[in-house]
Chain A
Amino acid sequence: MRATTIERTQGAHPLLVWIAAWLVPGAGHLWSGQRLKGLVFLVMLPAMFAIGLALDGRLFPFELAQPLVALAAIADLGIGLPYLVARVLAAGGGDVIAVTYEYGNTFLIVAGLLNLLVAFDAFDIAAGRKG
């Protein structure tokens, strides 16, 4: 498994793998030949993000004047392409009076952070630090 993984990612710069893994959840692991892991991430992470939107969560703006809002915005952006699609579709406005508003925010933020974690894992695999 380890030899296969290293062979597959050989030639690919780890940073390139990280960017692919960030943009499309699971892409980094699929690139490394870890199909099962990649497919699970490809399905679960965007699903979690979509549930966050369905629960009336908000995609936070980058407001440097409010550090916690800015950090939440960075976490939201962590999901990659689904975030950009949601922005284009003007989704993620958030409904602050909805009973599930905070749950929605939690789903959106955690989906983004988990995808960043997954992307760094893919980076480590591509760099040969992990099998």
Chain B
Amino acid sequence: MIVRSHFGVLLLFAFFVSTIFAVLLRDDVREQVRFGATLFGAFVLGAYVLGWLMYPFPL
């Protein structure tokens, strides 16, 4: 097993998906970096917010 941390896997997943979408949807390198960073931040922040929203409702 390469990553034991759930948050580590989240970061890894967000990195891959953000990079691929940024390269696919933007042509200019500067725009790709900006879009990729925004997407990555949105992934991580979104996961945090959803995680806390689900906190009162454990399975």
Contact = CB atoms under 8 A, between A and B. Distances in A.
Nearest to A1: B27
Given A37-B24, A118-B24, A121-B24, A51 B2 contact: yes
A21 B16 CA distance: 18
Contact of A107 (B13, B20, B23, B24): B13
A55 B1 contact: yes
Nearest to A95: B1
Interface residues of A, number: 26
Main secondary structure of the interface of B (DSSP, over half): helix
Interface in A86-126: 98-100, 103, 106-107, 110-111, 114, 117-118, 121
Given A41-B23, A103-B9, A118-B24, A56 B16 contact: no
Given A41-B23, A117-B24, A47 B1 contact: no
A12 interface: no
Given A54-B1, A54-B2, A110 B24 contact: no
A40 B1 contact: no
Given A100-B9, A107-B13, A55 B2 contact: yes
B42 interface: no
Given A114-B17, A118-B20, A118-B24, 12 more contacts: A1-B27, A36-B23, A44-B16, A44-B20, A48-B16, A55-B3, A99-B1, A99-B4, A100-B4, A111-B16, A114-B20, A117-B24
Interface of A: 1, 36-37, 40-41, 44-45, 47-48, 51, 54-56, 98-100, 103, 106-107, 110-111, 114, 117-118, 121, 131
15 contacts: A37-B23, A45-B20, A48-B16, A48-B20, A55-B9, A98-B1, A100-B1, A103-B9, A103-B13, A107-B13, A107-B16, A111-B16, A117-B24, A118-B24, A121-B24
